[in-house]
Structure 1
């Protein structure tokens, strides 16, 4: 089996991957095929258990008869017609049967017997979910290449809207926002001599009730209690400014000497933070009125959560490779016109580049169900630095700290830079005093066997030489174990001492 497919199986089921130990019943096959067709495509692999164990199918099965049987099920139960590819692959003497489905062009696809409104399925995370009416309508929009924000709101009077916030942004760029410009940007449409606003205009002006953002500074690394919280509404551009200021008020500001000049900088590059926030506003799902953007600041990360997964035709791998697909075309057009967007598809690479230049860990971007989660890791320094908190009080920090910026901190610490790990990473180091498999580690942490957790709780520790593989010559050995290094043991000991002295 090629290593790419093997890696996929080890990572577990996802938006584009589903396992079945044996061929399921017709309806279950049809629902998965329909969900893949309506979303990003995917592979249904027969012969793999839910625990990722490769079982294989009966080696004596007539493959051609099996292909014909599955093709008949799909043809009989699904509409419009779906044409997947069927093939087999041999893994250590065990045969896998793969049904590969591509995203369709005739959206929405649905079960014939249930009809379009009740038989449409989409892929959310690793499960098939029956689409609600709004989702079915959105699939129809995708078929004709129209976005939700371009739709006209005939029940809202254009004359009732205050365009001042938008006009000021255009004026600041030396541009005029007149009726013709509004039309060209698809913010208004004229019908029978009357102007009507698009959804995009209502969203940009903050008229829609879910065009809001909630921000919170939590104490510690969990959501157990908060120190500060704010909710911002109004036009999106003002929200962007307010969110940026909220984050700045809760990040450490360090003085860095460049040449003969002192330069103040935040522990996370503000350029990277702005880009993540901008992406959240431009690419989020505005259809569902019950959700909004959430910004959480913890001792170890800044977490920005955006409603709606990635656009249906792309996956996380596509996004990280620089592929761009805009969910809200009219909104994106306005942000591009105002120079908030530099170049389509370049945002993620720039975020990584800014963090790398600042010596900060690469942000973690994941698609969790029907929302996108971005974690920007806070960078701590061992030099004396002045930190401005949200009430203007100077805080002197002499070590890497994870205390609230509203608390005064002054500690005597080692001069060397300290690696900062979260609680579960420390638990991993403690647990691996004896050789442990990745499954044993994840069972102990009570987390799922997911690529994100592999990177966070194993790979990151290996890279920092706090954890080593017992078989370093074969990193992908299925019997691989991990053991804490002397440096890792020293970190755990120092961490225990710091806790005792607090």
Structure 2
């Protein structure tokens, strides 16, 4: 760790006047604080963080009487001997303002190795997580959820002994058995319904009598809430951006709905509630039209399905429902259980992660349950592709991927409403009177309108292929809507009306026609990086993979954007899981 990196971190602390969640500062002038173990556990169980010793918390100045070598050795003893699993990260002594500071960057622990805990206190008393006001001890439920990552839960396979076969919806049962027989004739064609339901995990024998399982009731039940009153979904539509804040007419909610029934019914009705509370615009496609909402319908379906299918169904959490909140600026979905199966927040929505379900039987069963409004499609593919599909749909609409806030025992997914292709932007594009625009052209026009220009690289960041991107911008130029600036390598495209009416600083008519200067090329690459982060490619490796830019070029552009205060890293400088975000977002 260089002194300049430490200088930048402490400068940030002084500007903020407080410690952000990912940094813990201690003076440690009188010895190693007793709470250091709690902080190490909290960082390891969360997103990681940085411990700085030798600074006064008031003003973040070097602490008088601080013995860096002594504190480093004491900290090493705690890391190696008193934490389970031991923390092996190097501890550094760094010169700072004629004094010394001890720094330790703690990485997030692999999910299957959590929880990190103070050995002498044990897992249930010595495990911590970062909170808004410091380190908080994990509850017994939260620790149990972390430990469940090491095994396959079977709560969805439990027999509901109060329920009977008559508590399953005959219509849903018929549809599922038909789909299962088409999918796997050898196992299901011509088989007695009860036998088929057993093979699907929807039914098991109890003292010689077939009874529905929890998975069977949730997927195929007439009314599962008869047996589990809280296993429903709540939907609230808020008038302001803060829960509990009243609207202009004193209203607390614009809509407040409890949605129950089996999962296919919940999914259908939640989608309907959200759609009627969103604005929409139409895109003309030949002789037909396609409605576009604030949030793509497939995104809503995937997020709600994911919450219902992967939430925790252990007895301890059956008193908690899935919660959906629609604010003017965001959509939020909350569920119990947290992440499962060794998956981290950074991996959610990525195409190449191993699929593992907390509720394996339920996930398999939902792969045969049809959507109420699309009988030829099932609720889940059981391929781990749900969030991947949602992220792709968001990028297609020019929207940033979901933000995932995961803690032990809880997962919150937030989709910002801000979109390049918001309904008002779609209406503006329609006002241009351009026929038969492609999805890539809609996105290109939206980027030009919001950012001042678009390039093939910027479109690539949103998942558009090079071929489709080049075809899209060339056609817009041919139609007289856009004008090309820059040379072959750094070509950008701007709306003609903006070039004519709103001259860009330093860009005269001659510059528009001339080849781009080196600075213009750098600015174009910086624009591409910003678009990539907004599209969810937040790691340097991800940017290299999706943008076709060299690794060193990406790193240089990220450093320049950091220097300008446009982007900032989300983790310590040396973190192997480093990612970036737009400042203020």
Q: Same fold, TM exceeding 0.5?
A: yes
RMSD, aligned α-carbons: 4.8
Q: Would the alpha carbon gap of residues 381 and 128 (structure 1) be closer, same or farther in structure 2, given more than 3 Å must change? A: same
Q: Give the Cα separation in 1 of the matches to 2:368 and 2:213.
A: 17
Query: Structure 1 residue 228: deviation in Å?
Result: 2.5
Match of 2:85 in 1: 82
Match of 1:210 in 2: 230
TM-score, normalisation: structure 2: 0.54
Match of 2:129 in 1: 123
The structure with the larger Rg is: 2
Q: Would the alpha carbon gap of residues 356 and 95 (structure 1) be closer, same or farther in structure 2, given more than 3 Å must change? A: same
Asked if 1:354 corresponds to 2:393, the answer is yes
TM-score, normalisation: structure 1: 0.62
Query: Structure 1 residue 190: deviation in Å?
Result: 3.9
**Matched residue SS, 1:375:** strand
Match of 2:365 in 1: 334
Q: Give the Cα separation in 2 of the matches to 1:193 and 1:242.
A: 37
**Matched residue SS, 1:86:** coil
**Matched residue SS, 2:332:** strand
Q: Is 1:365–1:373's contact at 8 Å kept on the other side of the alignment?
A: yes
| Per-residue CA distance 1:328-383 (angstroms, 9 max, x = gap) | 3222222234443336343333223222323x321442306533132241623257
Normalized per residue, the structure richer in helix is 2
Structure 2 alignment gaps of length 5 or more: 14-18, 182-187, 370-377, 432-447, 452-532, 539-557, 568-585
**Matched residue SS, 1:302:** strand
Match of 1:146 in 2: 152
Match of 1:319 in 2: 348
**Matched residue SS, 2:254:** strand
Match of 2:76 in 1: 67
Q: Give the Cα separation in 2 of the matches to 1:83 and 1:230.
A: 48
Q: Would the alpha carbon gap of residues 59 and 115 (structure 1) be closer, same or farther in structure 2, given more than 3 Å must change? A: closer
Q: Is 2:330–2:417's contact at 8 Å kept on the other side of the alignment?
A: yes
Query: Structure 1 residue 101: deviation in Å?
Result: 6.6
| Per-residue CA distance 1:207-233 (angstroms, 9 max, x = gap) | 322221112333354442322232111
Q: Give the Cα separation in 2 of the matches to 1:197 and 1:114.
A: 42
Q: Give the Cα separation in 2 of the matches to 1:91 and 1:297.
A: 47
Q: Is 1:47–1:55's contact at 8 Å kept on the other side of the alignment?
A: no
**Matched residue SS, 1:72:** helix
Q: 2:263 aligns with which of 228, 233, 236?
A: 236
Query: Structure 1 residue 269: deviation in Å?
Result: 2.0
**Matched residue SS, 1:96:** strand
**Matched residue SS, 1:244:** helix
Match of 2:173 in 1: 167
Match of 2:415 in 1: 375
Q: Is 1:19–1:44's contact at 8 Å kept on the other side of the alignment?
A: yes
Match of 1:298 in 2: 327
| Per-residue CA distance 1:414-471 (angstroms, 9 max, x = gap) | xxx9879xxxxxxxxxxxxxxxxxxxxxxxxxxxxxxxxx989xx9xxxxxxxxxxxx
Q: Would the alpha carbon gap of residues 52 and 8 (structure 1) be closer, same or farther in structure 2, given more than 3 Å must change? A: farther
**Matched residue SS, 1:476:** helix
Match of 2:103 in 1: 96
Q: 2:298 aligns with which of 268, 271, 274?
A: 271
Q: Is 1:366–1:372's contact at 8 Å kept on the other side of the alignment?
A: yes
Q: Give the Cα separation in 2 of the matches to 1:109 and 1:382.
A: 48
Structure 1 alignment gaps of length 5 or more: 75-80, 386-396, 399-416, 421-453, 460-471, 483-502
Match of 1:476 in 2: 562
Q: Give the Cα separation in 1 of the matches to 2:321 and 2:62.
A: 43
Query: Structure 1 residue 169: deviation in Å?
Result: 4.3
Number of positions where the alignment pairs a residue of Structure 1 with one of Structure 2:
395
Q: Give the Cα separation in 2 of the matches to 1:13 and 1:274.
A: 35
| Per-residue CA distance 1:291-342 (angstroms, 9 max, x = gap) | 3222233334333333443338433212144445433322222223444333
Match of 2:527 in 1: none
